[in-house]
């Protein structure tokens, strides 16, 4: 079964993939906060404070005011992940992280950050079977 065919069978999920980019004319905090502002009608100030707290949890609060072109692929991935956590959806699906993050050799530090950020959502990683060895013993299961 193709990844997107499987995803289509899932209900209520936030997707992190090349098909779900950040908004280039917003900074990283605004990209994250937008979800809470629109879907929960949270004030800009409250939503941005939540976004800052999440960035601080993994030590990247310094990128908060950066635009997309000022961040590296790992920082962009983390912002995409935090943005997905802001939704009410209980499932977060990450599609081929090795294609989203440049020069990714070891996914364990990213899994560790995902665990720090996650507060009870189901995280599913879809990747190529050739990358299966990178997920051995991980708390985020790989689905081929």
| Confidence check: pLDDT of 1 > 50 | no
| Confidence check: pLDDT of 132 > 50 | yes
| Confidence check: pLDDT of 119 > 60 | yes
DSSP string across 73-133 = HHHHHHHHHHHHHTSS-SEEEEE-HHHHSTT----HHHHHHHHHH-SS-EEEEE--GGGGG
pLDDT tens for residues 43-67? 999 999 999 999 999 999 999 999 9
64 CB burial (10 A radius; 0-12, 13-18, 19+): middle
Predicted TM-score (pTM) above 0.75 = yes
Residues 75, 72: Cα–Cα separation, whole Å: 5
What mean pLDDT, rounded, does the chain reach? 86
Angle (nearest 5°) at CA 37 between 113 and 114: 10
φ/ψ of 19, rounded to 5, equals -85, 0
DSSP string across 11-37 = -SEEEESTTSPPPTTS-HHHHHHHHHH
pLDDT at 95: 87
Residue entry with tokens 């950066």: 66
How many Cα atoms occupy the beta-carbon half-sphere of 89 within 13 Å? 19
């Amino acid at each position: 079964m193709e990844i997107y065919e499987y995803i289509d069978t899932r209900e209520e999920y936030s997707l992190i993939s090349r098909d779900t980019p950040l908004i280039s004319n917003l900074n990283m905090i605004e990209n994250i906060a937008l979800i809470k502002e629109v879907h929960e009608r949270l004030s800009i100030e409250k939503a941005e404070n939540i976004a800052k707290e999440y960035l601080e949890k993994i030590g990247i609060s310094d990128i908060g005011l950066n635009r997309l072109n000022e961040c590296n692929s790992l920082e962009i991935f983390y912002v995409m992940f935090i943005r997905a956590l802001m939704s009410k959806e209980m499932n977060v699906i990450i599609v081929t992280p090795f294609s989203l993050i440049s020069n990714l050799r070891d996914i364990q530090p990213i899994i560790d950050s995902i665990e720090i950020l996650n507060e009870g959502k189901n995280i599913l990683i879809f990747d190529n079977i050739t990358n299966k060895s990178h997920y051995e013993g991980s708390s985020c299961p790989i689905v081929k």
